[in-house]
Structure 1
Amino acid sequence: MGLSASLFLGRLGVRHLLVEKHADTSHHPRGRGNNVRTMELYRTAGVEAPIREAASVLADNHGILQADTLAGAEQEWLFKEIDPGGALARFSPSGWCLCSQNDLEPVLLRRARELAAGLGGELRFGTELVSFEQDGDGVTVLLRSRENGEQRTVRAGYLVAADGPRSPVRERLGIGQTGPGDLFHNVSVTFRAKRLAEVAGDRRFIACYLTTPQGPGALLPVDNREQWVFHAPWHPDRGETLEDFTDERCVAHIRAATGVPDLEVEITGKAPWHAAERVAERYGSGRVFLAGDSAHEMSPTGAFGSNTGIQDAHNLAWKLAAVLAGWAGPGLLETYGAERRPVAVATSARASARSAEHRHPGYAAVPGTGRQKNVLAVALGYRYPVGAVVGTDPAAPPVPDGFETTGAPGSRAPHVWLRRAGGRLSTLDLFEKSLVLLTGPGGTAWHTAGALLAERLGIRLDAYRIGDAPDLDLAPEPGTDWAQAYGIGPDGAVLIRPDGFVAWRSTEAAADPEAELGSALRTVLRR
């Protein structure tokens, strides 16, 4: 989460220091599922293409397979395609991407480091946070080099803690957690096995859940050839320790799971991980904020946790940028937890239910009736009933049961293809560094009001008129109706936040557009 936060802050021109206790990016292939919303954010940040290039070896892997053993006859696809029929293209210019953390992080690091350097900031590895103190004007942090023990004091406006599920920062703030707690434990084993590709054949799965009692676990390809990961159930509650997972035991377990008794296996690494359902009671205190695993833990099925964390960072980044630049009031930062925590509570429950539904090895929970549908409701349909929004229903669920795009305040702005200067762009490409006001040919009064308010209030606001007339800023692609997608009439207007969420809309003209839009802007920005 830290590298994503650094990338987003750098894109917004915020000078910052990133501190990472490890000496380098992750070498373990974990956290591979980047959902469509996360890829939209990376698209806007200019790194979608290099991420897909880094992930190209797994580009043709789809679906979750369940089998007794990989070589056995009992097999069932829990789902075979992430995006069957390519239907997702109706809703997004991006798509899902299977990119493991060890491949993703170097891409993020290169770009984040370039941006930080241009702002006079820095990304410092092999450095840990020793302590912090905050006051009304900022945060004073004591850092220590893990290489030579050198200490350094840093003064900053704010501190964002993406320091993992055992977050020392969260503990020092005295912030508790809610939720069921631990769900199950696994040991992630990386290994080489050249003959395993022959056994897998043309089954290019994301993961294969193997259920044989002699070797239950989850098998994941790393390169579809000889490098693999196996998640073996671990039971510390029964006295089992990590030392019990010897190379010999892991080899025997993998042979039993794959159904190949003489499989040549070379163990290359082991890492424990814990599946849990917990959410921080608060997402910050004063000038210190939690993001990613420090704010929430989720069952790994569906990769909801990592995506939710990246989206945390994106939500917080624009708010920090706006407050630091002076065009939003400090109260805007209070909306971070108000918006993101309910999403995490709902999403973590969905993740646990999906693990039960998929009978994830090591998880003993009984699945509910029927299979979950509308995963897009979690990935793209989450919304903010309260926060930096105007005109929402505060009682609406943050994650709905079904997925639909309506352009309603509090929801993700719909994707519609547009034309500009002969080129093609998505509406989502307009949203990153400023508020955006969209109007149609009949929305001239709104457009004028937006320009006046931006100058008067010192707000970063870009206004675009959309229509087929040559004097308008953007043209809809033939056959598309952007105004209908956003739920407004020809003389209405819609205000989009830098994170691509609808902040406010008026379906039609107003008697005093400057007053109405000004009221919305002041509410959203806590001015």
Structure 2
Amino acid sequence: MEKQQLPVLIVGGGLVGLSTALFLSHHDITSRVIERHRGTSIHPKARGINTRSMELFRPFQIEEQIRVAGAGLNKGGGCLLHANTLLEADFSTMKNLIQKLEKENDQLSPTIGSFTTQDLMEPILLQAIQERQGDVQFNMELVSFTQDERGVTAIVQNRETGTRETVFAQYLIAADGANSRIRQALGIQMSGRGTLSYNMNIYFRANLKPYVEGHEFSICNINHSKATGTLVSINHNDDLWTFHVNFDPTRGEGLSDFPDERCIQLIRTAVGDPKLDVEIISVLPWEAAVKVADHFQVGRIFLVGDAAHLMPPTGGFGGNSGIADGHNLAWKLAAVLKGTAAPELLNTYEIERKTVSHFTTEQAGLIANTGQLNMVSKKVSKAPVTSNNHVIMRYQYRSSAVIAEHTDSESNLSPYVEQLDGKPGTRAPHLWLEQNGQPISTIDLFHKNYVLLADEHSTWAYAAQYVSGELNLPIDMFTIGHIGNLQDPENQWHKTYQVPAGGAVLIRPDGFVAWRSCQIENSTEILSSVIRQLLSLEK
């Protein structure tokens, strides 16, 4: 068997695994992705890239590609409908689930999400990785692995030829899905509310234009007694849909109980047209659950995406949460592999993402409880947060990679904040500034290095330059003012970031506020101490 050595091995080449590899490449870290299937997903699966995920993809110039790929769902995106059959639907009762998010968005971000399905998203990510000379290998599976203090030794196999090779990686990322074999091999249990339902996802093509044209929707809950389920639009232009129905594995039900003939009958009944021409493309079982892994890290192995947390599709948080996992982990692995941070920094991945995952899965479960989707039965419980943006944007990290302020007391440990105002541990606020006479969002400043924002004429610019050289750590310094390298024509930056004149804000490579200072004096000494603490360099 051949033996290869590399910094990071990613097992699982789906939405989350590919995103993580792309984020690592942005930090100049080589990785290898292995995926057991022959290519990217042929099933839509996740059906939307939210605003925060779109922000994370902006540095790769693939935003427009993602939007073009999702254009087929633009009509009716976010609209929910209930009906006995589609033929009997009263379209005047449709509700727009994302209208409130869209109204909030202008204040929160320079971009907006897209209804792009996973089968269309993965090829975009794959191309972006390959353009950066990334290594993605399909039809390859993990056979076994061991780890020690130096790294992870994995045996991988080509599923077609049976050829095996040994790969030594300094770190391994498990992006191998809900039934993660790596998680199971590590003995990691999952906790939470548990399974809500088991569903069969029937992906099909049918011309439903006579019933929906001019009344396009995102989701239609079908209440017919012989075809209760959820009809989901995938691409209005290409007549693509999915229909989700429950099944009960405790009664021995499974994929074999849903041959094409039965699926076609279910769809015809749900639509209300017994002669509808239906082409079944694929059928995929899945579990709606609220579960979070008890550990996201064991030694040099990390769990991301569905391997780390499961949630129902309500809210559209699942795939996007996995993308955020990969983004959080990528910059930390890069810092450790480059020697600019101590290995202890990696411990903050589980601390930060596990807490957020508990909050996110809970909210997805609470939205499911409202009866939003027929695939998950309605239950009485407390209400979810008032806006999905609390889950998408306004969560807060608390770890040694963040220096909390004195006002962030133990008695006020809410998982989210009401406003993004520069508080340490929260996503840095979006603010339109000007650079070289052109508008630029602060969000587009934060993607690779630590960033320090401060007033022009302050001592922070010298401090950043000195500390950068002292620690061999790139720090992007931006001074804001009339003659700074960023201009603030509306004079909003102090208010938006809640920092006084002469103060400074330090942003992490993932766009989260690491530290905020109101002090002016001793800036070099303070900044050096702060960054050492953030990178676990101070013992």
Question: What TM-score do the two structures reach when normalised by structure 2?
Answer: 0.92
* CA distance in 1: counterparts of 2:309 and 2:129, whole angstroms: 24
Tell me whether 1:485 sits opposite 2:500 in the alignment.
no
Corresponding residue for residue 117 of structure 2: 100
Residues 43 and 320 of structure 1: is their aligned pair in 2 closer, same or farther, counting only changes over 3 Å? Answer: same
Q: Deviations over 1:386-411 (max 9, x none)?
A: 241002536444633x6311110000
Residues 85 and 316 of structure 1: is their aligned pair in 2 closer, same or farther, counting only changes over 3 Å? Answer: closer
Q: Secondary structure at the match of 1:7?
A: helix
Corresponding residue for residue 44 of structure 1: 59
Q: Deviations over 1:24-62 (max 9, x none)?
A: 000111101211111110113332121112212222332
Residues 129 and 176 of structure 1: is their aligned pair in 2 closer, same or farther, counting only changes over 3 Å? Answer: same
Residues 209 and 399 of structure 1: is their aligned pair in 2 closer, same or farther, counting only changes over 3 Å? Answer: farther
Root-mean-square deviation (CA), in Å?
1.8
Corresponding residue for residue 524 of structure 2: 514
Counterpart among 85, 91, 94 of residue 77 in structure 1: 94
Corresponding residue for residue 285 of structure 1: 298
Cα drift, residue 369 of structure 1: 5.7
Corresponding residue for residue 31 of structure 2: 16
Corresponding residue for residue 222 of structure 2: 210
Counterpart among 415, 429, 440 of residue 399 in structure 1: 415
Q: Is the Cα–Cα contact under 8 Å of residues 288 and 376 in structure 2 kept in the other structure?
A: no
Q: Is the Cα–Cα contact under 8 Å of residues 63 and 79 in structure 1 kept in the other structure?
A: yes
* CA distance in 2: counterparts of 1:371 and 1:285, whole angstroms: 32
Moved more, 50-59 or 7-16: 50-59
Residues 110 and 85 of structure 1: is their aligned pair in 2 closer, same or farther, counting only changes over 3 Å? Answer: closer
* CA distance in 1: counterparts of 2:173 and 2:384, whole angstroms: 37
Counterpart among 477, 485, 509 of residue 463 in structure 1: 477
* CA distance in 2: counterparts of 1:32 and 1:386, whole angstroms: 32
The residue type equivalent to 1:428 in the other structure is I
Q: Secondary structure at the match of 1:475?
A: coil
Tell me whether 1:262 sits opposite 2:278 in the alignment.
no
Q: Is the Cα–Cα contact under 8 Å of residues 386 and 394 in structure 1 kept in the other structure?
A: no
Q: Is the Cα–Cα contact under 8 Å of residues 366 and 382 in structure 2 kept in the other structure?
A: no
The residue type equivalent to 1:321 in the other structure is A
Tell me whether 1:242 sits opposite 2:255 in the alignment.
yes
Tell me whether 1:500 sits opposite 2:516 in the alignment.
no
Corresponding residue for residue 13 of structure 2: none
Tell me whether 1:419 sits opposite 2:434 in the alignment.
yes
Corresponding residue for residue 425 of structure 2: 410
Residues 480 and 112 of structure 1: is their aligned pair in 2 closer, same or farther, counting only changes over 3 Å? Answer: farther
Corresponding residue for residue 53 of structure 1: 68
Cα drift, residue 78 of structure 1: 4.0
Corresponding residue for residue 392 of structure 2: 379
Counterpart among 179, 203, 211 of residue 199 in structure 1: 211
Q: Secondary structure at the match of 1:491?
A: coil
Corresponding residue for residue 350 of structure 1: 363
The residue type equivalent to 2:465 in the other structure is A
The residue type equivalent to 2:154 in the other structure is V
Q: Secondary structure at the match of 1:363?
A: coil
Cα drift, residue 18 of structure 1: 0.9
Paired-residue identity, %:
39
Q: Deviations over 1:107-128 (max 9, x none)?
A: 000011221x2xxx52111111
Q: Deviations over 1:229-265 (max 9, x none)?
A: 1112222233323222122222222122222333222
Residues 178 and 406 of structure 1: is their aligned pair in 2 closer, same or farther, counting only changes over 3 Å? Answer: same
Tell me whether 1:441 sits opposite 2:473 in the alignment.
no
* CA distance in 2: counterparts of 1:123 and 1:81, whole angstroms: 35
Cα drift, residue 7 of structure 1: 0.5
Q: Secondary structure at the match of 2:94?
A: strand
Q: Secondary structure at the match of 2:235?
A: coil
* CA distance in 1: counterparts of 2:465 and 2:223, whole angstroms: 62
Corresponding residue for residue 128 of structure 1: 141
Cα drift, residue 450 of structure 1: 1.4
Q: Deviations over 1:461-487 (max 9, x none)?
A: 111101122xx11112x3251121111
* CA distance in 2: counterparts of 1:58 and 1:480, whole angstroms: 39
Residues 371 and 494 of structure 1: is their aligned pair in 2 closer, same or farther, counting only changes over 3 Å? Answer: closer
Q: Secondary structure at the match of 1:468?
A: coil
The residue type equivalent to 1:440 in the other structure is D
The residue type equivalent to 1:421 in the other structure is N
Cα drift, residue 173 of structure 1: 1.6
Q: Deviations over 1:294-346 (max 9, x none)?
A: 11111111121111100000000000111111111111101000000000011
Tell me whether 1:220 sits opposite 2:236 in the alignment.
no
Tell me whether 1:299 sits opposite 2:312 in the alignment.
yes
The residue type equivalent to 2:46 in the other structure is G
Cα drift, residue 436 of structure 1: 0.4
Moved more, 321-330 or 201-210: 201-210
The residue type equivalent to 2:507 in the other structure is I
* CA distance in 2: counterparts of 1:204 and 1:103, whole angstroms: 20
Q: Is the Cα–Cα contact under 8 Å of residues 299 and 351 in structure 1 kept in the other structure?
A: yes
Corresponding residue for residue 454 of structure 1: 468
Q: Deviations over 1:210-239 (max 9, x none)?
A: 222221111122221422111122222333
* CA distance in 1: counterparts of 2:413 and 2:491, whole angstroms: 29
Q: Which runs of 5+ in 2 are unaligned?
A: 1-15
Q: Deviations over 1:333-363 (max 9, x none)?
A: 0100000000001110100111111342232
Counterpart among 180, 190, 206 of residue 167 in structure 1: 180
The residue type equivalent to 1:381 in the other structure is R
Q: Is the Cα–Cα contact under 8 Å of residues 278 and 297 in structure 1 kept in the other structure?
A: yes
Corresponding residue for residue 7 of structure 2: none
* CA distance in 1: counterparts of 2:455 and 2:267, whole angstroms: 60
Q: Is the Cα–Cα contact under 8 Å of residues 44 and 234 in structure 2 kept in the other structure?
A: yes
Q: Is the Cα–Cα contact under 8 Å of residues 347 and 399 in structure 1 kept in the other structure?
A: no
Corresponding residue for residue 156 of structure 1: 169
Q: Secondary structure at the match of 1:157?
A: strand
Residues 85 and 524 of structure 1: is their aligned pair in 2 closer, same or farther, counting only changes over 3 Å? Answer: closer
Residues 398 and 316 of structure 1: is their aligned pair in 2 closer, same or farther, counting only changes over 3 Å? Answer: farther
Residues 398 and 139 of structure 1: is their aligned pair in 2 closer, same or farther, counting only changes over 3 Å? Answer: farther
Q: Secondary structure at the match of 1:187?
A: strand
Q: Secondary structure at the match of 1:465?
A: strand
Moved more, 444-453 or 496-505: 444-453
Q: Secondary structure at the match of 1:205?
A: coil
* CA distance in 2: counterparts of 1:233 and 1:223, whole angstroms: 23
* CA distance in 1: counterparts of 2:198 and 2:479, whole angstroms: 53
* CA distance in 2: counterparts of 1:29 and 1:277, whole angstroms: 21
